[in-house]
Amino acid sequence: MPQLDLKAKLAILADAAKYDASCASSGTAKRDSRDRKGLGSTEGMGICHAYAPDGRCISLLKILLTNSCIFDCAYCINRRSSNVRRARFTVDEVVSLTIGFYRRNYVEGLFLSSGIIRSSDYTMEQLVEVARRLREEHDFRGYIHLKTIPDSAPDLLEKAGRYADRLSINIELPTESGLARLAPEKDVTSIQGSMGTLRHHILDAKDARKRYRSAPRYAPAGQSTQMIVGADGADDHAILARADGLYGGYGMRRVYYSAYSPIPDSSSALPPSRPPLLREHRLYQADWMLRFYGFSLPEIAAATPGGHLPLDMDPKAAWALANRHLFPLDVNRAPREMLLRVPGLGPKVVNRILSARRWRQLRLADVERLVASPKRVKPFLLTPDWRPGAELDSVGLGIRLVTAPAQLSLF
Amino acid sequence: MYRATLAHPADLDGFRKAARTALALKIAPDALDWAVEGDGAALDLASPLPPMPDAPAPRVPRHYVELAELAICNRAPERLPLLYSLLVRLQASPRLLEDRSDPQVDAVSELAKAVSRDRHKMRAFVRFRETDDEGGKHYIAWFEPTHHILRLNIGFFIRRFAAQRWTILTPELSAHWDGQAIHWLPGATKDDAPTEDPVEAIWKTYYASTFNPARLKVKAMQAEMPKKYWRNLPEAELIPELIAQAEARTVDMIAGGTLAEVKAQALGCKLCPLHGPATQTVFGEGPTDARLMIVGEQPGDQEDLAGRPFVGPAGQLLDQCLAEAGIDRSRAYVTNAVKHFKFQLRGRRRIHESPNAAEIQACRWWLDQERALLKPGLVLMLGASAGRALLGRAVTVGRERGRPIKLPDGAAGFLTVHPSYLLRIENAATQRAERQRFVDELRAAAALAQEAR
């Protein structure tokens, strides 16, 4: 086989890695190189260095070590039976690409994953070796995200967390039967076993650091996972329930939802055509409601009958419409938990309202200055000089909250 | 009237001193004029502030200092009077900043927010180019910030790149880090920055490859990466091309499968409402290496029941004409612009109804995949609906039939009438003539299909 040059390999291995949604570089330990040694810094807040025309942020050099794989997962472009072009980076090549990009301020660091070659352990060793070389030989202090390979040995997971900021292992599909059907070589028990091991190490290291400041860190940005949406029959409620379990059970920092993309050589086991981008968006919104807005899963499920989140309005608006009897709220008296439930009010604005009303009574004009879209929130709020009247009960309200879904479609 | 003059636009120290002096002298906000050195202050009656009198330092909440640090870097000239006016009011009501609905608090917060965003974008979008000089490797960037943020942001670049030598050039000020300390230099122009870098081409390859064309969301990209930054981002010059190719590439990606797979998918198609009343999807058929692809309008009553294209009266006529033209139908791929039968019920009869533009557009999805998989030498369009589907515009068959037409993507096309048109002609002589013309055109199209290798 002719040798591919670096650019050709990069084209193949970046293309193969792009189906992983995560590109986060935030939430890790603070580091810098003010000692004039080493390279790089992390400051807590992630930085998106560029955006591709798919609207996704490019924060990390996201590549695979190789796209050859002994597994045959139906949703994955790199599966054994796919006829994509294969390539493989050497450890050195990944290290020098990362450093070269970082010095030019193109990226925050590296997100390295790989197809499985030879064995899980062999593959994981290679990934860990890249991270080790970056950290130990180049004193690299930027961000490293390693994908852990299912079924790899516990001591490799242990090592990986010493070098990486974040580790992740993908749950892939929301249902066990989906995984069994589409990814026959993977199994839920071993994936969850790895997640459990990671959680154990992360908690241990945090504990140790409370007692000894010099205790080594372990994946300070935690672990994350990804679920593919639309490749099996799971409905939105099932997906959210799965995510909820992952947040609670394994202390996930993030669960990513990836609308199944049509990928080259797509197998007939999968649904055709466009990825359900709007559905993915709604899932993220519901995910946010669960994590930051104090909603519970049964509440969301009760407001969105039929198993799916509505596509024509966001899930928070759907909940509010289903619970009209709770509104309008008095801006000057309503508790924080209730204000957070008003469509159009987020934690930031609610904090501003709470802080401003300690100062004086808020009138409509004040609210209009505080919120991003007054039109949206007005029907749900009450001020001394404003009351929504019949709007809350009218059919028109539903229509006003509906957003045109067309903008997200591709053709 | 007094005037306070700052050493440079983001001179927080100068502002602090002037504001304290003015506050101690109880100068009202509208009696104090603010200027920046070198901005060519007008000759007027304002007198410079007297030296600071001995007075205790005014107390300000910490949040004010944080706001001022950011807001003073804003390009808006009103930032200085606004900040001072807020300072004066804070003396009487120290908790004023908690009230974000106060217009002045809101205005200053907005100024600060804009600066904070610009600061963040600068951290993201500065692109260094590597050069070699007597001191070794030297990384140089040219950047055009919206606000006066280079000083505010310099700490970030020091924390990150303290072990390499770098320079950031901006129009009003430049900064050079020699590995030990920062040196402030005058503003520069784009011509002062290097134009090439050995790794930039590899970065562009990465940018293009990590983009997923199936998920085109241009607005989302522009919201986060506004166009004003594009001219200094090497990768941004790829954007128009990537967008243009995206649609075509998605079709290619899906077409990685086989016709049988695509057909299996199409059987469950619900892209338009026609799937409801129709019996089934009628997909195209023919050999996968066909040179000639024949596209009709839509399945009729019999096709709908049989699940195969061109088996009704028009199909039989097409078969005869193909045979007369010396074309083996089994060597051609035959399909329709729309894959479901559209009809109106009249009693027990289903009367054919032409598909509308939206239905044709919805079904393009499948037609494009058929074309991408077959790569025929020529696409023969039968009638106006097929013409609309493939040419993407309304066509007048009578005017455009009988000669090669380039399809929008450059492929070879050819337009003629639909055989059902021949069936509707009542005058026998006209019908004979028209039928002969149709056969001739079929023959011409088949010849072109063979040529187009």
The answer to whether the CB atoms of B221 and A54 lie below 8 A apart is yes
Cβ–Cβ contact B154 with A under 8 A: no
For residue B336, what pLDDT is reported?
A: 95
> For B402, which DSSP code?
T
Q: Choose between A264 and B140: higher pLDDT.
A: B140
Band (A390; pLDDT cuts 50, 70, 90):
low
Residue-wise pLDDT for B34-45, tens only, equals 989 877 655 566
> Structural domain boundaries of chain B?
2-121, 126-192, 200-254, 259-451
Residues 314-373 in B contacting A (C-alpha not used; CB under 8 Å): 361, 364-365
Distance between terminal CA atoms of chain A? Answer: 39
Contact pairs from chain A to chain B, CB under 8 Å: 211
Q: Is the pLDDT of residue A77 over 50?
A: yes
Please check the confidence at residue A399 and state whether its pLDDT lies above 70. no
Element (H, E) at A381: strand A381-382
Of the partner residues B123, B139, B250, the one whose CB lies closest to the CB of residue A104 = B139
| Preceding omega of A328 cis (within 30 degrees of 0) | yes
- Interface mutation target, options B217, B247, B249, chain A, most CBs of A under 10 Å: B217
| Pick among A31, A106, A363 to test the B interface (most B CBs inside 10 A) | A106
Burial annotation A35-73 (CB, 10 A radius, 16+ → b, else e): eeebbbbbbeebbbbbbbbbbbbbbbbbbbbbbbbebbb
Per-residue pLDDT tens over the stretch B366-399: 898 888 888 899 999 999 999 999 998 899 999 9
Counting residues of chain A whose pLDDT is more than 70, the rounded percentage is 90
Range from A261-270, A341-350, B62-71, B400-409 that averages highest in pLDDT:
B62-71
Report the share of chain A in percent with pLDDT over 90: 47
pLDDT in tens, B201-237: 999 999 999 988 877 888 889 989 999 999 999 999 9
- Rounded to 5°, angle at Cα A54 from A53 and A55: 85
- Residue among A37, A47, A274 minimizing CB distance to B123: A47
Residues of B within 8 A of A37 (CB-CB) are: 163
Q: Which residues pair with residue B3 across a beta bridge?
A: B33, B48
Which residue type is seen at B395? V
Q: Please check the confidence at residue A137 and state whether its pLDDT lies above 70.
A: yes
pLDDT digits (tens, 9 = 90+) for B310-354: 999 999 999 999 999 999 888 899 999 999 999 988 877 888 999
Q: What is the pLDDT of residues B402-443, one digit of tens each?
A: 989 998 888 899 999 999 999 999 999 999 999 999 999 999
Contact B339, B265 (CB under 8 A): no
Is B141 near chain A, with CB under 8 Å? yes
Nearest to A54 among B95, B139, B212 (CB): B212
Q: CA of B373: which chain A residue's CA is closest?
A: A265
Torsion of Cα atoms, B371 then B373 then B377 then B382, to 10°: -30
pLDDT in tens, A299-311: 999 988 888 888 8
Residue-wise pLDDT tens digits, A264-294: 554 444 445 566 778 888 999 999 999 889 8
- Can you say whether the dihedral through the CA atoms of B119, B121, B123, B128 is positive or negative? negative
Per-residue confidence (pLDDT) for residue B71, from 0 to 100: 97
Owner of token pair 């801006």? A331
Helix extents (H) in A293-346: 297-303, 315-322, 336-339
Rounded Cα gap, residues B129 and B190, in angstroms: 13
Query: Cα-Cα-Cα-Cα dihedral of A385, A388, A390, A395, to 10°?
Result: 160
pLDDT at A150: 85
Q: Which of A273, A349, A361 to mutate to test the interface with B (most CBs of B within 10 A)?
A: A273
Structure-block tokens of residue B17: 């001193």
ipTM, two decimals: 0.88
CB contact at 8 A, A37 and A140: no
Residues A385, A400: Cα–Cα separation, whole Å: 22
* Pair A346, A364: CB distance under 8 Å: no
Q: Which chain B residues are closer than 8 Å to A33 by Cβ?
A: 159-163
Q: What pLDDT does B75 receive?
A: 94
Cβ proximity of A281 and A231 under 8 Å: no
B158: contact with A, CB 8 A cutoff: yes
DSSP B308: S
- Chain B residue numbers with beta carbons less than 8 Å from the beta carbon of A407 are 219
Q: Which residues pair with A58 in a beta bridge?
A: A50
Distance from C-alpha of A235 to C-alpha of B78, rounded to nearest angstrom: 54
Residues from chain B contacting residue A105 (CB–CB below 8 Å): 126-128, 141, 160
How many other C-beta atoms are found inside a 10 Å radius of the C-beta of residue B376? 23
Rounded Cα gap, residues A127 and A164, in angstroms: 10
Identify whether the C-beta of residue B126 lies closer than 8 Å to the C-beta of residue A49. no
DSSP secondary structure, B201-239, as one string:
HHHHHHHHHH--GGG--HHHHHHHS-GGGGGG-GGGGGH
Averaged pLDDT, A148-162:
91
Using the predicted structure, report yes or no on whether residue A404 has a pLDDT greater than 50: no
Q: Residue B64: name the closest of B35, B47, B84, B50 by CA.
A: B84
Residue in A101, A167, A91 with CA at minimum distance from that of residue A134:
A91
Q: Are B111 and B68 in contact, with CB atoms under 8 Å apart?
A: no
Q: Which residue has the tokens 């197809």?
A: A115
How far B72 CA lies from chain A's nearest CA (Å)? Answer: 22
Distance CA B168, CA A323 (A): 55
pLDDT at A203 over 50: yes
For B126, the token pair is 């500065």
* Partners of residue A356 in chain B, C-beta under 8 Å: 98-101
Q: Round to whole Å and give the CA distance between B368 and B370.
A: 5
Residue A409: pLDDT band with limits 50, 70, 90: very low
Tokens of B434: 């028209």
Phi and psi for A311 in degrees, rounded to 5? Answer: -85, -25
Testing the interface with B: which of A10, A32, A48, A51 to mutate, by most B Cβ within 10 A?
A51
The dihedral region occupied by A229, where left means phi > 0, alpha psi between -120 and 50, and beta the remainder, is beta
Residue of A nearest to B230 (CA): A50
DSSP letters, B376-398, are: -SEEEEEHHHHHHHHHSS---HH
Average pLDDT over residues A143-147: 95
User: CATH topology for B259-451?
Assistant: Uracil-DNA Glycosylase, subunit E (3.40.470)
Nearest residue of B to residue A36, measured between CA atoms: B163
Instruction: Extract the tokens encoding B328.
Output: 């083996």
What is the percent of chain B where pLDDT is above 90? Answer: 60
The mean-pLDDT minimum among A111-120, B176-185, B247-256, B407-416 falls in B247-256
Residue B310 contacts A where some CB pair is shorter than 8 Å: no
Between B126, B163, B210, which is nearest A38 by CB?
Answer: B163
Chain B: residue whose CA lies nearest to A357: B99
Give the range with max mean pLDDT: A210-214, B105-109, B343-347: B105-109
Comparing alpha-carbon positions, the chain A residue that sits nearest to B162 is A36
Contacts with B150 (C-beta within 8 Å, 6 or more apart), sequence order: B168, B170, B172, B173, B174, B175
Closest Cα of chain A to B131: distance in Å?
Answer: 11
Kindly report, residue by residue over A80-121, the tens digit of the pLDDT. Answer: 887 788 999 999 999 999 999 999 999 999 999 999 998 999
pLDDT at B53: 82
Check A369 against B103: CB less than 8 A apart.
yes
Give the global pTM: 0.74
Instruction: Inspect the interface and report whether the beta carbons of A37 and B224 lie closer than 8 Å.
Output: no
pLDDT of residue A25: 87
Q: Say whether B212 and A56 touch across the interface (CB within 8 A).
A: yes
Domains defined along chain A, listed by start: 6-273 (3.20.20.70), 276-411 (no CATH)
Q: Which two tokens stand for residue A280?
A: 């993915």
Strand boundaries in B225-348, DSSP class E: 292-296, 333-336, 343-346
Please give the pLDDT value at position A403.
52
CB contact under 8 A, A100 and B180: no
In this structure, are residues B205 and A11 in contact, taking their beta carbons and an 8 Å threshold? yes
Residue B77 C-alpha, separation from nearest chain A C-alpha, in angstroms: 22
Q: Going by C-beta distance under 8 Å and a sequence separation of 6 or more, which residues neighbour residue B398?
A: none
> Mean pLDDT over all residues of chain A?
86
